[in-house]
Structure 1
């Protein structure tokens, strides 16, 4: 016998759609979301502490990673509310509206962070001599603030009807229905997915072409001897571009299946595979710190210092992490 459950994510027309799943699959989703939620918050907390605490890590690129970690940590928190939805919503209409609005804002901010990361790598690889003058910490902080504030304002316009009258689409107690009209839905889809993804792909294709040409030049010793220092700097930027490129690719792989389901415009009961796509979308927030651990020695060193509580020592923030 199948049980009726709900999973809520930002959707094109409605964020809450009925999912008919057997009890076993419902419990499997419950356990899966719980594990993803806890792991996401723990790992991203390590990233936030690492970049915030150690002064050597206060670079423009790491500010982007910090912003991304904040949005990923927020996803972990929202997953707890999603678990509540499995058995029905009991936190009231206002909390339902705030929860759904938060999912829209965080999703939009995460995509915006990815766009800024792509721009950062584009300038670093394609215009290395101008990078330090164009990309400063102050400008990066402004970009991050604009990203978050812009997401708050834009999504407020998208879900304005729901914010004006919380719970207006709920048909009974225990529901958390969040409906967005077609115009707002397609606008959100265009500016929160299609346009950002297009920008990311174009910029990283350009970065890839330039990176390959620079790598060939280095191997063939075309670069003059007096530019060796510049070449070393380029190698570090290339490594950062490769690492962040992995982050962007994983983000796209986790994001695209979810939006493909959204674009299909299904109104019938969703299948277990659709629930898996939603979980994959959320799991992306857990993967980013794992990628950092593989590619960034400073993150592994920071984790060791945090776990061993050495960050509590005086002047620990001045430890050289690079």
Structure 2
């Protein structure tokens, strides 16, 4: 058994200053203007993997257990000012008037664990299965976690006696797989109820509702079934594969418009809405001609 872990921290800092003198269009009429911003991205990642390998007779078994956690925090501060005594002054404390200032903090967390098993008998009958449990802070409080299983099987025909000594195929395998995957490609706060500040009324600070909460927002899921062959011919000078696949995606993550009469500034809500199917054939071919390879790739896909 082998156990490996990795803890990784990274800090990325960026600073930007945009200065326009009073002779430029942007600074004209205000004796020069300047905008400054500072951004810091703190990323923390923790990965753990344990593997176990066992061979008994003609069989072999590989087990992999893993855990991963990632958190990213982005902090930004901005400030703007105008009216500089001299164009050579480039810091905001030289501005006679600070016209705007602000800041944001953006945080996202992912966590997951998985188990994978690979079994082979006589190097010709192959079976694999896996299951993942993933969680993301981007989703609603009731739907942050998703379970994603997968299974696959393969048969290496060139390991069988009836193809062992043929002069055409060096390698021939048929395979099939069936699995579920998840997508969390949305904004960090798209499931939250948000308010927007800076909406003053009659000189009194105020705020407005910016986005509706959706506590039921969950992972977008894709269920894929595929099957095909992999081959190598003529002393491996010709290599390729032919694959047929069907991919059904449901609970699509979409921004759905809502009426302006709700009073929501953004007038959208992120929902799991709709589904889509992709299906088709994929064919790849790699041929060694003379000294260099000739590579081709063809595909046919239907979407609805």
Structure 2 length as normaliser, TM-score?
A: 0.24
- Higher relative CO (CA 8 A, sep ≥ 6), structure 1 or 2? 1
Flag the structure with higher helix content: 1
In proportion to residue count, which structure has more strand?
Answer: 2
Structure showing greater Rg: 2
